[in-house]
Amino acid sequence: MILISACLAGENCKYSGGNNLVEEIRELYERGEAVCVCPERDGGLPVPRDPAEIINGRVISIHGRDVTDYYVRGAEAGMEVCRRYGCIKAVLKANSPSCGPHAVYDGTFSHRLVNGQCGIFAAMLKEAGVQCMDENEYVQSVTGGSK
C-alpha cells in the first residue's frame, strides 16, 4: 500500500479549497493500491484555510498565526495511517509545508523554495524509513518521463 497526499487524488482539501489532482495518482487510489491522508485537514485545520509556510521551524500562516500544532497533530495522524496500512512508500505534494518531500517555501510567501527542507509530515515519514517522492517523480516513474 502506498500513502498519498489526498489532494493529489482529487480530494478538495487544499488550503484554497480545491485539489491538486494528478490522474495517475487518482488511478493508483482507485485501484486500491493507495491510501489518502491530508495532514493539514486531519490535524484540525479547516478547508479552505490561510496559506502557511515554515519559518524557523514553526508553521506560520500568511496572517502571522502559528499553526504548528495542527501540522504536528496531522502528521502524527498520518503516521498512524501509514503504520496501520504498512506503507513503505509515499507520494506527496511537492513544496507543501506538510508534505513537501524535497523542498518547502522559504516563509516569505514569495514562492521561493528552500531545497533540502521537508514538510512536517514528510520529515516524519522519512525518519520512519518511508520512501518519499513528489507527484512529479511519481508521474515520471509510471510514464517513463513522457509527460
**Where do the domains of the chain lie?**
2-143
CB 63 within 8 A of CB 70: no
In the numeric block, which cell numbers belong to residue 1?
Answer: 500500500
Characterise 109 by phi-psi region: left (phi > 0), alpha (psi -120 to 50), beta (else). Answer: left
Kindly report the number of other CB atoms within 10 A of residue 10's CB atom: 18
User: Could you list the pLDDT tens digit for every one of the 147 residues in the chain?
Assistant: 999 999 999 999 999 999 999 999 999 999 999 999 999 999 999 999 999 999 999 999 999 999 999 999 999 999 999 999 999 999 999 999 999 999 999 999 999 999 999 999 999 999 999 999 999 999 999 988 765
Rounded to whole angstroms, the Cα distance separating 92 from 134 reads 5
Alpha helices in the chain (DSSP H): 23-30, 39-42, 68-85, 120-127, 135-143
Q: What is the pLDDT of residue 147?
A: 53
Q: What is the pLDDT of residue 144?
A: 84
pTM as predicted: 0.95
Rounded to whole angstroms, the Cα distance separating 13 from 4 reads 13
Q: What is the pLDDT of residue 140?
A: 95
